[in-house]
Homo-oligomer: A and B are copies of this chain.
Amino acid sequence: MSNDASAEIGSDSGSTSERLARQIAFIVEIDKAKQVLRQTELMDGSRCENDAEHSWHLALMAIVLAEHAREPKLDISRVVQMALVHDLVEIDAGDTFVYDLAAHAGKEERELRAAERIFNLLPLDSAREMRALWDEFEAGDTPEARFARSLDRLQPVLHNYHTRGGGWKRHGVSAQRVRERNAPIAEGAPALWEYTRTLIDDAVARGFIAEN
């Protein structure tokens, strides 16, 4: 990715060509998210989905489901941006299955190191903005982050329901654990939690998943 003008280092944030080189390096690096597999299967059950697909799906869910956010006046474009970046750290840290408690050991540290490396490929100002989005999502303290986190929980439930149990069944996860795990959907989107409960109940009724 050489650039003839890359020697002209200008302001603190670098010359245009230096900035562009760093932006492109980031864009090339994040291609790897297309190969980070999740436990969630595509809705036709043909294969597991990856982080890029999942993040795209979440971003569109944010737009389509915006009216169900608990806080009516939230900044949906920020929710969309969080959806797009929230799993980039998994390029280094890998996906951790939500029901696999043992795998969560060291997850936070692995993800912090990944955030340091990946966002810092960008020019400094841009790296800070991306990192702020990721930190906000992780902390879950703003209406936007709470809504994004609700969607991040709802999406796999939809997939598991439409694959007649999918990842839940493969890992022997009970309806009770699915309810416990997903109850925080109510924090960002009460109506979506009500809907999720009906899906889980229906999954039990149809035999996709056991109650306990």
Contact = CB atoms under 8 A, between A and B. Distances in A.
Question: Which of A4, A57, A81 has the most B CB atoms < 10 Å from its CB?
Answer: A57
Question: Which of A34, A80, A81, A158 has the most B CB atoms < 10 Å from its CB?
Answer: A34
A162 B34 CA distance: 15
B50 A30 contact: no
Interface string A1-12: 011100000000
Question: How big is the A interface, by class?
Answer: 35 or more
Give the number of copies in the complex.
2
A49 B34 contact: yes
Interface of A: 2-4, 16, 19-20, 23-24, 26-28, 30-35, 42-44, 46, 49-50, 52-53, 55-57, 59-61, 63-65, 67-68, 76-77, 80-81, 84-85, 122, 126, 158-159, 162, 191, 195, 198, 202
